[in-house]
Amino acid sequence: MSDIKIEGYDFKPGFKGMAKDTGSDQTMFKGVHWGKAMMWIFLLSDTFIFSCFLISYMKGRGSTLIDWPNPSEVFGLHVFGVDVPLLLIAIMTFVLITSSGTMALAVKYGYEKNKKMCGWLILATAIGGLTFVGMQAFEWGKLIHEGVRPWENPFGAPQFGSFFFMITGFHGTHVSIGVIFLFIYAYKTFAGHYDEGKRGWFTSIKGDYVEIEILGLYWHFVDLVWVFIFAFFYLW
Amino acid sequence: MSEDFNDNKTIQAQSSETISGGGSGITPDMDYVRPAEIGEQDLYHGHSFITKWIFCQDAKVIGVQYFLLATFTGIIGLILSWLMRLQLGFPGLAPFMTAEHYYQFVTMHGMIMVVYFLTALFLGGFGNYLIPLMVGARDMVFPYLNMVSFWSFFVAVGVLLASFFVPGGPTGSGWTLYPPQAILEGTPGSGWGIMLMCISLILFVAGFTMGGLNYLITVLQARTRGMTLMRMPLTVWGIFTATVLAMLAFPALLVGALMMSLDNVLGTSFFMPTILKAGEVLEYGGGSPILFQHLFWFFGHPEVYIVALPAFGIISDLISVHARKNIFGYRMMVWAIVGIGALSFFVWAHHMYVSGMNPWFGFFFATTTLIIAVPTAMKVYNWILTLWRGNIRLNTVMLWCLGFIVTFVNGGITGIFLGNVSVDVPLSDTYFVIAHFHMVMGIAPLMVIMGAVYHWFPLVSGRFLDEKLGKWHFWLTFLGAYSIYFPMHYLGFIGVPRRYFEMYDSPYVTSAVGMNEFISIAAFIVGAAQFILIYNIIKTLKTGKPAGHNPWQACSLEWLTPSVPPEHGNWGDRLPVVHRWAYDFSVPGAKEDFITQTTPPSEVTDTKVEKT
Better-predicted residue by pLDDT, B96 or A44: A44
The rounded Cα A106 to chain-centroid distance in angstroms is 16
Q: Are residues A84 and A15 in the same domain?
A: no
Residue in A38, A51, A159 nearest the CB of B269:
A159
CA–CA distance, A74 with B139 (Å, rounded to integer): 53
Residue A152: count other Cβ atoms within 10 Å of its Cβ.
16
Residue in A20, A25, A42 nearest the CB of B34:
A25
Chain B contacts of A157, Cβ < 8 Å? Answer: 286
The reply to whether A44 touches chain B by the CB within 8 Å rule is: yes
SS3 B573: coil
User: Do the chains contact at A158 and B285, CB–CB below 8 Å?
Assistant: yes
User: Do the chains contact at B220 and A38, CB–CB below 8 Å?
Assistant: no
Residue in B141, B230, B259 nearest the CB of A34:
B141
Q: Are residues A206 and A100 in the same domain?
A: yes
CA–CA distance, A117 with B192 (Å, rounded to integer): 51
Å from A163 to nearest chain B CA? 8
Residue in B221, B291, B578 nearest the CB of A34:
B221
User: Do the chains contact at B36 and A26, CB–CB below 8 Å?
Assistant: yes
The reply to whether B588 touches chain A by the CB within 8 Å rule is: no
CA–CA distance, B253 with B292 (Å, rounded to integer): 9
Residue B508 buriedness (CB in 10 A; 0-12 / 13-18 / 19+):
middle
Name A6's bridge partners. Answer: A9
Is B581 within 8 Å of B330 (Cβ atoms)?
Answer: yes
- pLDDT, position B20: 42
- pLDDT, position B26: 56
Count Cα neighbours of B240 within 13 Å in the Cβ-side half-sphere. Answer: 22
Chain B contacts of A16, Cβ < 8 Å? Answer: none
User: Do the chains contact at B255 and A203, CB–CB below 8 Å?
Assistant: no
SS3 B356: coil
User: What CATH number should be reported for the domain holding residue A200?
Assistant: 1.20.120.80
Is A53 within 8 Å of A32 (Cβ atoms)?
Answer: no
Query: In this complex, how many residue pairs, one in chain A and one in chain B, have their CB atoms less than 8 Å apart?
Result: 154
Q: Are residues A22 and A114 in the same domain?
A: no
In a mutational test of the A interface, the residue from B32, B213, B240, B598 whose CB has the highest number of chain A CBs within 10 Å is B213
Model confidence at A1: pLDDT above 50: no
User: Do the chains contact at A49 and B262, CB–CB below 8 Å?
Assistant: no
The reply to whether A56 touches chain B by the CB within 8 Å rule is: yes
The ranges of chain B with pLDDT < 50 are 1-24
In sequence order, the 6+-apart residues with CB closer than 8 A to the CB of B214 are: B59, B140, B141, B142, B145, B146, B149
User: Do the chains contact at A41 and B3, CB–CB below 8 Å?
Assistant: no
* Position B325, amino acid: K
User: Angle B434-B436-B440 (CA atoms, 0-180°, nearest 5)?
Assistant: 120
Contacts with A, B 242-271, CB within 8 Å:
247-248, 250-252, 254-256, 258-259, 262, 266-270
Chain A contacts of B7, Cβ < 8 Å? Answer: none
What are the DSSP calls for B156-204, one per residue?
HHHHHHHGGGSTT-S--STTTT-TTGGGSTTSTTTTHHHHHHHHHHHHH
The reply to whether A63 touches chain B by the CB within 8 Å rule is: yes
Contacts with A, B 289-328, CB within 8 Å:
291, 295, 298
The reply to whether A58 touches chain B by the CB within 8 Å rule is: no
CA–CA distance, B229 with A25 (Å, rounded to integer): 7
Instruction: Show the domain range for A8.
Output: 1-31
User: Do the chains contact at B268 and A151, CB–CB below 8 Å?
Assistant: yes
The reply to whether A41 touches chain B by the CB within 8 Å rule is: yes
User: Do the chains contact at A151 and B267, CB–CB below 8 Å?
Assistant: yes
Model confidence at A3: pLDDT above 90: no
The reply to whether A43 touches chain B by the CB within 8 Å rule is: no
Model confidence at A175: pLDDT above 60: yes
In sequence order, the 6+-apart residues with CB closer than 8 A to the CB of B364 are: none
* Position B515, amino acid: M
In sequence order, the 6+-apart residues with CB closer than 8 A to the CB of B124 are: B62, B63, B66, B67, B70, B149, B150, B153, B208, B211
SS3 B497: strand
Q: Are residues A5 and A40 in the same domain?
A: no
* Position B271, amino acid: F
- pLDDT, position A18: 92
CA–CA distance, A50 with B174 (Å, rounded to integer): 27
User: Do the chains contact at A23 and B254, CB–CB below 8 Å?
Assistant: no
Q: Are residues A197 and A227 in the same domain?
A: yes
Å from B80 to nearest chain A CA? 33
Nearest residue to B289 (alpha-carbon basis) of B437, B176, B188? B176
CA–CA distance, B412 with B421 (Å, rounded to integer): 16
Residue in A31, A35, A52 nearest the CB of B252:
A52
In sequence order, the 6+-apart residues with CB closer than 8 A to the CB of B116 are: B70, B73, B74, B77, B156, B157, B160, B204
User: Do the chains contact at A150 and B286, CB–CB below 8 Å?
Assistant: no
Å from B345 to nearest chain A CA? 12
Q: How many domains does chain A have?
A: 2
CA–CA distance, B83 with B97 (Å, rounded to integer): 8
Is B286 within 8 Å of A162 (Cβ atoms)?
Answer: no
Q: Are residues A2 and A72 in the same domain?
A: no
In sequence order, the 6+-apart residues with CB closer than 8 A to the CB of B444 are: B308, B311, B404, B407, B408, B411
* C-alpha separations of B458 from B474, B537, B549, B565 in Å: 18, 11, 9, 8
Q: Are residues A12 and A74 in the same domain?
A: no
Structural domain boundaries of chain B? 49-232, 548-612
CA–CA distance, B314 with B352 (Å, rounded to integer): 31
Phi, psi torsion values for A206, nearest 5 degrees: -65, 135
User: Do the chains contact at A25 and B258, CB–CB below 8 Å?
Assistant: no
Q: Are residues A6 and A84 in the same domain?
A: no
Residue in A22, A38, A158 nearest the CB of B213:
A38
Q: Are residues A25 and A115 in the same domain?
A: no
Chain B contacts of A63, Cβ < 8 Å? Answer: 286, 288
Is B138 within 8 Å of B120 (Cβ atoms)?
Answer: no
CA–CA distance, B272 with B267 (Å, rounded to integer): 9
Closest-CA residue of chain B to A7? B35
Residue B470 buriedness (CB in 10 A; 0-12 / 13-18 / 19+):
buried
The reply to whether B274 touches chain A by the CB within 8 Å rule is: no
Chain B contacts of A163, Cβ < 8 Å? Answer: 270
Residue in A42, A52, A162 nearest the CB of B268:
A162
CA–CA distance, B221 with A33 (Å, rounded to integer): 9
SS3 A158: helix
User: Do the chains contact at B220 and A27, CB–CB below 8 Å?
Assistant: yes
Is B106 within 8 Å of B174 (Cβ atoms)?
Answer: yes
Q: Are residues A129 and A219 in the same domain?
A: yes
The reply to whether B75 touches chain A by the CB within 8 Å rule is: no
Q: Are residues A2 and A49 in the same domain?
A: no
